[in-house]
Chains A and B, each alone.
Chain A
Amino acid sequence: MSLQLDFPAVLERWPSFLGGAALTLELAAFATVLGALFGTLAAVGRGSRSPLIAGACKVYVETIRNTPLLVQIFLVYFGLASLGLKFSAFTVAVAALTINVGAYTAEIMRAGFEAIPRGQIEAAEGLALSRLQIYWHIILLPAIEKVYPALTSQFVLLMLASSVCSQISAEELTAVANYIQSDTYRAFETYIIVAVLYVILSLVMRAGFWGLGLVLFPRRRRLGTPL
């Protein structure tokens, strides 16, 4: 048995690879920003005094965390279609990924909120801050800081998991690879390149989160405490 690799045959399709990688990164960026917002709201909702809101948030989080991403994507894709609504594959993918990562974000942020000592909140209440002001000024950043590694890993995982969006023909990296390997009959080479590109994308995201951490947590920068 001999292994014959022909990378040039595949690499000449580099503009397609780059386009796919760019789209994957774009998908991840949208879903990260929207999912962070959505998930944080759901985490706040789970602590709501209204049992209806708290219950709805819990059902959402548990449903998403106990179903496969691909099924969620199909549900959004065919659900919207059966309502007669037409959206691009990209929009559907962003929506499904947001819903998915939002649930994980909610769970992680809830742990972050719970790690804030009761005394912090009492001190803020004693200063006459409102509930909203307390969440915004006192709880949010320290909570994010406490779960930052878990949270950012989740967003990197989301980027990797976005490869299943190839199933609804969003032109992201894995979808592009599928076309290329069926054109070139060079499947192994194609997926080696794709794997390398995913590693690079992961590193890009991790570097981005590291930089964001410097901006979000100036105390750590000043005191030199690593995350």
Chain B
Amino acid sequence: MQQNLSSSDPIVSLRDVQKSFGPLRVLDGVSFAVERGEVLALIGRSGSGKSTALRCIDRFEKVDGGEIVVCGHRVDRPDVDLRALRQDVGIVFQSYNLFPHLTIEQNITLAPCAVKGMATSRARDLARKVLAQVGLEEKLHAYPEQLSGGQQQRAAIARSLAMQPKVMLFDEVTSALDPELTAEVLKVIEQLAADGMTMVMVTHEMGFAKGIADRIVFMHRGKVHETGPASILTSPTTPELTQFVGTGNLKS
């Protein structure tokens, strides 16, 4: 359900979100909000519930309790219009998930044409535009397997951008890449942030999070354990975050 969205409402807000997988309580009262144009970094140990929180925002997981509002959609409600929600939200995964049988151009034009009914010629122009944004114009007619991991991830970002989402979700998008390729992907995300895109990203790149995030959410055992501006990474208040950033996670 789309409520009237005033420009001051957060783009994403979670309130007291609960989620269990069987007996395992993965999210235990998670709350945070992302304002328009803000970049929020979700950090924490493996298994702390970061991916689950992110996936709840795009309703890849159904929550057991609490409230999630994304661009005016009540995501926690069973009657949420999934396709409307997902036109407002772009999501990029660690494993790129480009469609292997389609060229990069076809990967990008598919959703605008099929979902929004965009004319093919307009969608092709759009594909060029978003590929230029991620520095891959020359790969328009290549197939995904002809691209390096970093290029595939940038193409996946371009594919999401072509739907003109109001918010982008990134789940450890550089974890499968070596440092050099990581850098080229992070550069693209930095540029998006500079252009004012609202973003929620799960990341292990602490130096990057520190440089780009307006807000940090540190998750620990399914709870938001500590949150604040990027400066909490250099002066954490809880022993858990101190330990987390101290264990060599904070590279610059």
Contact = CB atoms under 8 A, between A and B. Distances in A.
B93 A122 contact: yes
A164 interface: no
Interface in B83-123: 83-84, 86-87, 89-91, 93, 95, 97-101, 110-111, 114-115
Given A125-B60, A126-B58, A119 B97 contact: yes
A122 to B, nearest CB: 6
Contact of A142 (B83, B87, B93, B101): B101
B159 interface: yes
A127 B163 contact: yes
B86 A126 contact: yes
A220 to B, nearest CB: 9
A26 interface: no
A219 to B, nearest CB: 5
A222 B99 contact: no
A222 B111 contact: no
B145 interface: yes
B146 interface: yes
Contacts of A126: 58, 60, 86, 89-91, 160
A129 B87 CA distance: 9
A117 B97 CA distance: 9
A138 to B, nearest CB: 6
Interface string A192-226: 00000000000000000000000001010011000
Contacts of A222: 143
Given A128-B115, A130-B83, A123 B60 contact: no
Nearest to B159: A127
Contacts of A141: 101
Given A123-B98, A128-B84, A142-B99, 7 more contacts: A125-B86, A126-B60, A126-B160, A128-B82, A133-B114, A138-B99, A145-B101
Interface of A: 117, 119-120, 122-130, 133, 137-138, 141-142, 145, 217, 219, 222-223
Q: 10 closest Cβ contacts across the A-B interface? A: A123-B97, A127-B111, A128-B86, A126-B91, A119-B97, A128-B115, A128-B83, A128-B87, A219-B143, A133-B114
17 contacts: A122-B60, A122-B93, A122-B97, A125-B86, A126-B89, A127-B159, A127-B163, A128-B82, A128-B83, A128-B111, A133-B114, A142-B100, A219-B101, A219-B143, A223-B143, A223-B145, A223-B146
